Structure 1
């Protein structure tokens, strides 16, 4: 019998927390609940969840700090729940290790779909790591697939799990333009890129860490990784 996937739901509103928990249990997941920042960190250490659903606004300390602390100990996919729509706030969340975000108010089926997509991405990343050469060297950019480490001009660059997967998707076909929908399917497991700024936000994060000219925008089409360095 397959072991159920364990999710950690961190939300201080007890009604929302329980509604999420009930729906996710009905979907076949094992769910652990936490209601504040310190409790979330402890729950992650005790239960080692496969994915964390994490509200940004929490008592104790906020979801950004929770994400930072748990990613420092054991990288795990994080879906953030946020009432904030400012792009700077969203980029901060992605920068501390969140993989995706859903803005409030949200529909339960959207949260479930995002969770399943993130879990599929993790499985695909594991499979690809065993099928391709362990290290990609593209100019001064080096990507070690086995250790999931990246360096530019021999200097290490810290990427979140999803930033790494996006960079790898572009690096596997350097110089070629990858369509937005294609990237969303490969990296996120979504059918299309409509209605979300997730891809654009992650590209901006990559540019901030790797250099502003590393990823080229092809308007109306998608993105390409520049390798002429």
Structure 2
């Protein structure tokens, strides 16, 4: 999928930082990552023959140092005009384990594309002690409905969700709004079981969705302040 405005910002920061590299062979890749509060953290790699950390991993450490707990988007760019570059295998595994819902910027034929990390590492080893807090994304227009409790379920295709704690993020929200809550139940459904008007709207959101797609009806609730 094409990057949203905030995701493009992360790409731009990584590419701009990469233009400052090139004189020191120990630092050849720049990375930027955005947390759920809209803060962008940036870093560079530390090359060493014994396996110095990639820029993406250094960026995770920088974000953690700043108090960021959940990350939404990451991008890396190479020095000497190489532009946007995809993460290596080790970085993909770390990202999947520590931030399983992060979107990763990768180069495409017509420009940057955003890929869920699980799409970059299918059939992967699962680290059993990885954090369980998850992120579920919504369009910003649903913020008030989710906050008020009017909206408590959503239909998803080609996404992975699990019952348990989750943070609801509203993409494109001017204040990077997000809500703590939980996914309470997940049911399987199909397009034919949905209201035709709703199904048509869902097709607009998922243009590649086949007619026989298996869908998830995800039930959730917002955590209320006591």
- Greater percentage in strand: 2
TM-score in terms of structure 1 length:
0.35
TM-score in terms of structure 2 length:
0.36
- Greater percentage in helix: 1
- Computing the radius of gyration from Cα coordinates, the structure with the larger value is 2
Q: Which has the higher contact order (CA 8 A, sep 6+)?
A: 2
